[in-house]
Amino acid sequence: MVERRLFLAVPLTDLARDLLSNVQEKLMPVYGGRGRTRPESMHLTVKFLGPVREDQIPALTAVVRDSVQEILPFQLELDQLTSFGNPEAPRIIAVILKPIESIRFLAEQVDKACSRVGFQLEKRPFSPHITIYRPKRPGKIEKKHPVLATSIPVKELVLFQSELKPDGAVYHVLESFPLSGHDGKELETGNETGN
């Protein structure tokens, strides 16, 4: 049976990608040119699914669509730089987002939905971030460094296929799930801070 490497994510605006590319440029003296996430590949991962059999995809898309259809669209903002792993030689450099309540609610709903069709529940709390660098050499950055704020509208969730290639992964859109909720009382706080 054919398997595809899949994940669910929020796509970014062109403006957000441009700003993140500028952040990468400023990090080049520390980390060099290798390891940067290509602008067209930047996204906010909501759930990584891993290898998924073709026959699992219809059930997966059905539960994901059902889990997000009552959620209202909302806004996120780029916030600040962070790193994962050893501070002197991080595995990942990322930009974190705010506010986290709305995106965390979305991630939890999607996680629960995916678990109903055989995918494992996440063990750690959801931490919204956009990976911009996977450094290939050591170097330290100032964590909590602010990034020029820009809004990222969260209007849909996208199912991507990740195709691994020698020069990095290439992502293909398989399906899009609009956030079309009309009550969304759980998200009122997040919407007030995002608008």
The string of pLDDT tens digits covering residues 21-78 is 999 999 999 998 889 999 999 999 999 999 999 999 999 999 999 999 999 999 999 9
DSSP assignment, residue 195?
-
Q: Which region holds residue 32: left if phi is over 0, alpha if psi is between -120 and 50, else beta? A: left
Q: Lowest-pLDDT range, 61-65, 80-84, 108-112? A: 80-84
The pLDDT, as a whole number, for residue 193 is 38
- Model confidence at 144, in pLDDT bands (50, 70, 90)? low
Q: From the DSSP assignment, how many helices (H) and strands (E) are in the chain?
A: 4, 8
Mean pLDDT of the chain: 88
CA distance 52 to 57: 7
| pLDDT tens column, 179-191 | 987 544 444 444 4
The domain covering 3-190 belongs, at the CATH homologous superfamily level, to Cyclic phosphodiesterase (3.90.1140.10)
Q: Which whole-number Å values give the CA distances from 105 to 20, 122, 148, in the listed order?
A: 25, 13, 25
Neighbouring-strand partners of residue 161: 6, 172
Q: Percent of the chain at pLDDT above 70? A: 91
Share of the chain above pLDDT 90, in %: 73
Average pLDDT for 129-156: 87
